Structures are given as structure tokens and as C-alpha cells.
């Protein structure tokens, strides 16, 4: 029997073997419809999806699901040896189909049971893959391994496999990562058509706007730079969340203002009371001169007891007001924008930054204003231009960025991700075994340690934290270190190349990136499928790369 809430999380507790606690007593229900799971990097979004999917077991509490979920992990690129068919979850059925249709089966009953009603599986798989990959799929594509695919192609294969399962519960972890514009819109269409229960962990604002409701893993201490405990806060759709956050911000600001006023009043009343006590004491001493000593001592003792009592009451009121102010401050999120001064990055208008003959572009064809650039033209950047680099996965955007780096006439900073030996994504140039300070010293060897610490403080790393190994940092913190190494490098970069910079970043970290780039005065080329990010950067023009046709049959 199907429940009203197909997913129920009841008193969930989960800790990693090393003792790190992720959830304590978390309870939530997910109804039919689409829910966006949001929150900062490291808040446990992926862990929660893995727990619901059954990949991890709770330490305490329970999770109920109506039916086996179809789960899309965000780290599909790690499985480099798996074939496309295996990644889609259809390899066993495809093998059985080939045996039956090729008359090579040794166990017809078992193969027929494996096939079930999926006699058209190959055709449906190809149709779904072509929908995500713009008709690139050939019969041989299902046999290719993940190692031969781009990150976007791998995610598209995973999404096609999820759709094939037609599951009543879908769990998607950062499904738009690496997807090009066409594949993203294919995903958006699928989400809008889906009639079951879907939970999507994503930072893609376009996708979030399409979902029925939002669930946010929010730090209990909103001012903590490195939060350790999170609560699940529920909202309606994207617009209702924005409205609720606006009300929360206004309420927190009003509460802070009221708390400051109350503490100021208590402080003033205490000072006024102390003045009155001192005046009365002076008057009492003068009056005591004409009294019998025993009466004067009794009156003095009574006055001192009364004064002590009043001081205690006033101190209690003042302490309460101070506590209210501290609580009000804790309810106001810390401003994590990155405000830095980068005067040495500025380049004058008209200065030649890079020139590459179009004929020398290794892959793809560059279009500008919907027209292909002539083979005898120059691909050039002059002055502090901001250029968006668009195009489908695999057309050569990253390759072109590398050519721009090689041909640049000015110091260049290149922000790009890489896969480590274990298949995890990280930032190129970042050394995990070294501290933040040591990493920045590599980029700016001429700066004194004190100056390096001062500059890291602008990226919200202060005190002893700058000596922590990069390997112990969260994803968002590692990104800030990588960004600091590029923007604070010596010599200062005057051409900035960004290759899908928002992949795997939460919304707060994307805002940090945008705030840091506000003061960058050089030229910039950004390859990104994140349309909202490009709009926020206010690019001056767009280079659109398309595949080069090498033969009439291609």
C-alpha cells in the first residue's frame, strides 16, 4: 500500500567511522512531487540521499521508503571502468537480449525472465541518450567505458539510466553538474513531467525554480564559519523561500536593533541608579554626623543592604539584556562575501591580451553573433573584456582555454577542476598535503608571512586556521584557497580563465566567487553552462563553440 508520505525519516542519527557526526535526531517526510534539497557544502545533503537510497545505514532512527528508489550519485566519473550499459543499469538485460535474439542462450527461461517486457530496451535507451547527447549515440556507444566520456556525457548517461527505471522514487545528487545547455533543458523537462516522489540535491537556481518545494539543511549556528550541526527547514517553492528569507532577515535585524536598545536602556538605568545611590550615601553620611552612633550604623547598614539588592537586580536585568543581544547577533548570518582590492590586475582598454589565429584552434568552430569566425581571422581579447564561452560538452572549450593560456601576453590565472588519483574532483594547483599558508606562499613567494595571513583573512581564514592542511577543509573552503592562490598570485593575473567554476559549489560559495571577481580589473574568459552565473558576471560578448564537421557524413 502506498503511503501519503513515500519517504519518512524518523529520528535519524548518523556518524562516520572516524566519529564525525552528521545527523542527530533528524526527522522529515517527503510527499509526492518534487523537492529540492539545499544547503551549504558539507551539510550532509549527499549523505542523506545515500541513507534514503539504502547505500548507508543509520546509526539510530529509521528510514521508510514505499519502493526502491532510483538513485543518481554525483561522483559517477569515479567508475572509470564501467561501461555505459552498466552505468545505465541495463547491461544484464542487454546481454540477455543479445543471447536470445542471437540464438546463443544456454538458459532461455532465465534470460526471458531477465528481459521481461524490455524487448525494446535498446531502442528506448538510444532515444533517451540521444535526447541528452544531441544525437551523438551510435550502437557502439553502450560498450564505451566511463573513462572515454566527458563529465557531462557521464552525467547524461546516468540520467538516461534513471529515466529508464521509471521508479516511483527518484533521488538525484547534483544532476546538472557538467551538463551542457541542451542536456540541462532535457533534465528540466523530465523533472516537470515526473509524477512520482523526487528529491534533488542541487545548487542550480533554474532547476530549483521548477520544483514544488524546498528542504534546506541549515546550520544551527548561522554565524559559524565551519558549521557542525544542521537542522532541516522546510519551505514552499523558490519564490516562497525567498519571501520567507526576506521576513527572517527583517525579523533578525529588528530583533538585533531592539536588543541593542534594551541593553543601552539597562546600562543607562544602572548608571542613573548608581548616581542616586552615591548621592543618598553622601546625604546619609552628612545626616549621620548629628545622629547617635548606633542609629547611624543601623541606617548605614540598611542603606548598604538596599543598595546591594538594587545593584543585584540591575545587574540581572543588564545580564539578561546582554544575553538577548548575543542571541540576536547569533541569528544574523555572517557576511561571507569576499571584499579584496586587486589594483595590479587592471589592464587599460584596448591593450592586446591574447591573439590566436582561428585556423590554429585545435577543436571546434567558434561562432560570434551567430556567425562562424573566418579561418583567416584572429580570436583576440583586448582590454578588460569579459567573455562567455558556450557550447556543448566535448566541442573543445577546455582545450581553447588552454590555448588562450599558452598564447596570453599577460600573467594568467586558470581556475579549473581536476580528478585526483581516487577519481575525486579538486582544484588544479592546490596541494592537499600543505597548509593554506604554504599553498598561498607557492603562488606569491615574495610576500611576508604576516602579509599572507592578512590576505587570507579577506577569504575568511583567520588565526590558526591558515595552518590547517588543505586536505582537512570542506569543499567550499578548498575552493576559497584555490581562488586566493589565483587572485593573490605574484605577478597578479591580468587574464582570468574559468572552466566551469560553479560545478560542485553551493549557492553561498558562488556568491563569494562573484563578490571576489567584482574587483578584478583584467580580462576574463568563462566557460560555463550556468546561465545565471554568466548573467551575474555581465559578460561583454559570447564565443559559441560548435563541433567541426570533418566530412560530409559526419
What SS3 string covers 397-418? HHHHHHHHHHHECCCEEEECEE
Parse the chain into domains and list their residue ranges.
1-69+167-224, 246-330, 343-546
Contact call for residues 429 and 416 (beta carbons, < 8 A):
no
The residues near 551 (Cβ < 8 Å, ≥ 6 apart) are none
pTM > 0.85: no
Give the CA distances from residue 19 to residues 16, 50, 221, 374, in Å, rounded to whole numbers and listed in that order: 5, 18, 21, 60
Per-residue pLDDT, averaged over 122-139, amounts to: 84
pLDDT of residue 550: 44
Q: pLDDT over 90 for what percent of the chain? A: 41
Lowest mean pLDDT among 99-113, 128-142, 190-204, 301-315: 301-315
pLDDT band at 425 (very low <50, low <70, confident <90, very high): low
Quick one: angle between helices 293-330 and 238-288, nearest 10?
A: 170
Mean pLDDT of 406-424: 80
Contacts 24+ apart (CB under 8 A), 90-95: 90/121, 90/125, 90/142, 90/161, 90/164, 93/118, 93/121, 94/121, 94/122, 94/142
45-87 pLDDT per residue, tens: 999 999 999 999 999 999 999 999 999 998 888 878 899 999 9
Task: Give the position of cell 556507444.
Answer: 141
pLDDT at position 66, please? 93
Greater pLDDT, 263 or 36: 36
d(CA 530, CA 510): 11
> pLDDT by residue (tens digit) across 447-496?
888 888 998 998 888 888 889 898 888 788 889 999 999 999 999 999 99
For residue 313, give the 3-state DSSP assignment.
helix
In this predicted structure, the answer to whether residue 554 has a pLDDT above a threshold of 70 is no
pLDDT of 238 over the 70 cut = yes
Higher pLDDT, 35 or 244: 35
What are residue 497's DSSP bridge partners? 414, 525
The least confident of 73-82, 216-225, 382-391, 513-522 is 216-225
Q: Higher-confidence residue: 241 or 7?
A: 7
- Condensed to tens digits (0 to 9), the pLDDT of residues 5-15 reads 799 999 999 98
Give Cα 250 distance to the centre of its chain. Answer: 25
List strand residue ranges (DSSP E) for 42-196, in order.
60-65, 70-72, 169-173
The CATH number of the structural domain formed by 1-69+167-224 is 3.40.50.300
Which CATH number, 3.40.50.300, 3.40.50.150, 3.30.70.1560, 1.10.10.10, labels domain 343-546? 3.40.50.300
pLDDT digits (tens, 9 = 90+) for 148-190: 888 888 999 999 999 998 899 999 999 998 898 889 999 999 9
What secondary structure does DSSP assign to 228-242, as a single string? Answer: --EEEEEESSHHHHH
**CB of 80 closer than 8 Å to CB of 145:** yes
pLDDT of residue 151: 84
d(CA 269, CA 265): 6
Stretch among 400-409, 457-466, 524-533 having the lowest mean pLDDT: 457-466
Grid cell 560553479 in the structure block, residue: 502
Mean pLDDT of 25-46: 91
pLDDT bin (cut points 50, 70, 90) of residue 223 is: low
The answer to whether domain 1-69+167-224 and domain 343-546 are alike in fold is: yes
Q: Is 53 exposed, middle or buried (0-12, 13-18, 19+ CB in 10 A)?
A: buried
Q: What is the pLDDT of residues 294-311, one digit of tens each?
A: 776 776 777 767 777 777
pLDDT band for position 516 (cuts 50, 70, 90): very high
Residue 533 has pLDDT above 80, yes or no: yes
Mean residue pLDDT of the chain comes to: 86
Mean pLDDT, range 244-261, rounded to an integer: 80
The per-residue pLDDT for range 327-360, each reduced to its tens digit, is: 777 766 667 788 889 999 999 999 999 999 888 8
- Contact between residue 170 and residue 197 where contact means Cβ atoms under 8 Å apart: yes
What does the pLDDT read at residue 552?
Answer: 37
Amino acid at each position: 500500500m502506498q503511503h501519503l508520505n513515500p519517504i519518512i525519516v524518523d529520528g535519524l542519527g548518523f556518524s562516520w567511522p572516524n566519529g564525525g557526526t552528521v545527523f542527530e535526531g533528524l526527522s522529515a517526510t517527503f510527499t509526492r512531487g518534487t523537492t529540492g534539497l539545499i544547503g551549504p557544502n558539507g551539510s550532509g545533503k549527499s549523505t542523506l540521499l545515500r541513507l534514503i537510497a539504502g547505500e548507508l545505514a543509520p546509526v539510530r532512527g529509521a528510514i521508510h521508503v514505499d519502493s526502491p528508489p532510483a538513485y543518481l550519485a554525483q561522483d559517477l566519473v569515479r567508475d572509470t571502468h564501467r561501461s555505459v550499459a552498466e552505468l545505465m543499469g541495463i547491461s544484464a538485460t542487454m546481454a540477455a537480449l543479445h543471447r536470445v535474439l542471437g540464438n546463443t542462450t544456454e538458459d532461455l527461461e532465465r534470460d526471458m525472465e531477465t528481459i521481461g517486457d524490455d524487448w525494446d530496451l535498446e531502442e528506448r535507451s538510444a532515444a533517451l541518450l540521444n535526447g541528452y547527447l544531441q544525437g551523438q549515440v551510435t550502437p557502439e556507444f553502450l560498450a564505451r567505458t566511463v573513462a572515454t566520456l566527458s563529465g557531462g556525457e557521464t552525467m547524461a548517461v546516468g540520467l538516461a539510466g534513471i529515466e529508464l527505471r521509471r521508479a516511483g522514487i527518484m533521488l538525484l545528487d547534483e544532476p546538472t553538474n557538467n551538463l551542457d545547455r541542451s542536456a540541462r533543458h532535457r533534465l528540466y523537462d523530465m523533472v516537470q513531467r515526473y509524477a512520482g516522489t523526487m528529491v534533488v540535491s542541487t545548487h542550480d537556481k533554474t532547476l530549483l525554480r521548477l520544483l514544488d518545494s524546498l528542504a534546506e539543511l541549515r546550520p544551527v549556528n548561522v554565524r559559524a564559519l565551519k558549521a557542525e550541526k544542521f537542522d532541516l527547514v522546510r519551505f514552499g517553492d523558490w519564490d516562497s523561500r525567498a519571501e520567507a528569507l526576506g521576513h527572517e532577515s527583517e525579523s533578525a535585524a529588528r530583533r538585533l536593533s531592539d536588543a541593542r536598545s534594551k541593553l543601552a536602556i539597562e546600562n543607562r538605568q544602572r548608571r542613573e541608579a548608581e548616581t542616586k545611590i552615591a548621592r543618598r550615601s553622601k546625604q546619609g553620611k552628612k545626616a549621620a554626623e548629628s545622629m547617635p552612633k548606633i542609629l547611624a550604623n543601623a541606617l548605614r547598614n540598611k542603606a548598604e543592604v538596599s543598595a546591594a539588592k538594587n545593584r543585584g537586580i540591575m545587574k540581572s536585568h543588564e545580564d539578561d539584556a546582554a544575553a538577548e543581544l548575543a542571541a540576536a547577533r547569533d541569528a544574523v548570518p555572517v557576511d561571507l562575501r569576499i571584499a579584496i582590492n586587486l589594483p595590479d590586475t587592471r589592464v587599460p582598454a584596448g591593450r592586446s591580451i591574447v591573439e590566436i589565429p582561428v585556423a590554429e584552434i585545435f577543436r571546434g568552430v567558434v561562432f560570434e553573433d551567430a556567425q562562424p569566425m573566418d579561418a583567416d581571422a584572429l580570436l583576440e581579447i583586448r582590454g578588460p573584456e569579459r567573455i562567455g564561452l558556450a557550447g556543448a560538452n566535448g566541442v573543445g572549450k577546455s582545450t581553447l582555454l588552454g590555448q588562450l593560456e599558452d598564447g596570453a601576453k599577460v600573467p594568467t590565472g586558470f581556475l579549473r577542476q581536476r580528478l585526483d588519483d581516487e577519481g575525486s574532483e579538486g582544484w588544479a594547483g592546490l596541494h592537499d598535503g600543505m597548509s593554506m599558508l604554504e599553498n598561498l606562499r607557492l603562488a606569491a613567494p615574495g610576500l611576508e608571512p604576516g602579509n599572507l595571513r592578512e590576505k587570507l583573512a579577506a577569504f575568511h581564514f583567520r588565526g590558526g586556521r591558515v595552518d590547517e592542511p588543505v586536505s582537512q577543509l570542506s569543499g567550499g573552503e578548498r575552493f576559497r584557497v584555490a581562488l586566493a592562490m589565483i587572485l593573490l598570485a605574484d605577478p597578479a593575473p591580468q587574464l582570468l580563465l574559468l572552466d566551469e567554476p560553479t560545478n560542485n559549489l553551493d549557492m553561498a560559495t558562488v556568491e563569494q566567487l562573484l563578490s571576489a571577481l567584482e574587483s578584478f580589473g583584467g580580462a576574463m574568459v568563462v566557460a560555463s553552462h550556468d546561465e545565471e552565473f554568466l548573467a551575474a558576471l555581465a559578460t561583454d560578448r559570447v564565443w559559441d563553440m560548435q563541433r567541426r564537421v570533418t566530412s560530409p557524413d559526419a
